[in-house]
Amino acid sequence: MIYTLTANPSLDYIMRVDHFETGETNRARECELYPGGKGINVSTILGRLGHENTALGFVAGFSGQELVRMLADRSFEKDFTDCAGYTRINVKLKSGKETEINGCGLELNPSNVEKLESRIRGLNGNDVLILSGSIPAGLDSMFYRHLLDLLDENVLSVVDATGDLLLNTLERHPFLIKPNQDELEALFDQKLEFVEDLARAARKLQDMGAKNVLVSRGAKGALLAGMDGAFYTASCPQGKLVNSVGSGDSMVAGFTAGYLESKNLEKALALGICCGSATAFCKDLAEYADIERLQTQSPVEIHRFTL
């Protein structure tokens, strides 16, 4: 079984406003509400690819209840822990440029964390654990590392996080980490202009413990530093960018599904790119038909190289 963790989920309230002006009364011409959270996005795409999975996480208050209700018809199991406070509501204002205001997270107590820890301890060598996104206030940057410490050594782990939350997991040798290019540059505090620069930075993360490092690059595709010692670049299919939210999560889901199906890094990368691109070309997360269409109409070009 594949398990995803969304420790700090959200309701994403999207408001589209023409000619937004600060300090004035602005009226939205369109509003939408979506369940948010990186792990939830991964679970959604995995389900649409036909992979059974269970979403773990914390929810709270009326907003948490609405989040669970909105996920009811998605094809994955839900095993959320109820907490105090409220599941955060993030406002995304779209008016030319996009402005985001992320709400405060929920309030965890030790029993909430202990319940999750017990669930993690129960995973076995046939399972996969995907840790995605931010964590609530009150938890420190060792949280994901601590969860990996609880795992059976044969469980495949995937980490999609930033900064120390990611770096602290590397000694536990996650199967896959997925920084985007901006996040990779922030980790090493330098601009990485060329593919070779990205490859060397990704290799440093492998030297620190990661087995595979997948660097998403938006319209430029992705770079993979593989556990076979090679690097792979993948092109991005052509299409109109509609919404980039969830694209990286879709890539994680596609790569994981592709590897479980084939045990082949190139096939995993190709499916990851298709899933990420399909979501970028849709208003919301891609459906299976969107992914299948890209696979048929715009095959991903992959190039292998070494340094």
Whether the Cβ atoms of residue 231 and residue 307 lie closer than 8 Å to each other? yes
Q: How far apart are CA 196 and CA 140, in angstroms?
A: 33
Q: State the number of CA atoms in the 13 A half-sphere of 38 facing the CB.
A: 20
Q: Identify residue 114 by its one-letter amino acid code.
A: E
Q: Identify residue 101 by its one-letter amino acid code.
A: I
**Chain-centroid distance, C-alpha 199:** 21
The residue annotated as part of the active site, out of 164, 249, 284, 290, is: 249
150, 96, 142: which is closest to 124 by C-alpha?
150
Interaxial angle between packed helices 38-48 and 247-262, expressed in degrees from 0 to 180 and rounded to the nearest 10:
50
154, 147, 155, 142: which is closest to 120 by C-alpha?
147
Active site includes 197?
A: no
Q: How far apart are CA 299 and CA 19, in angstroms?
A: 39
* Catalytic residue positions, numbered: 249
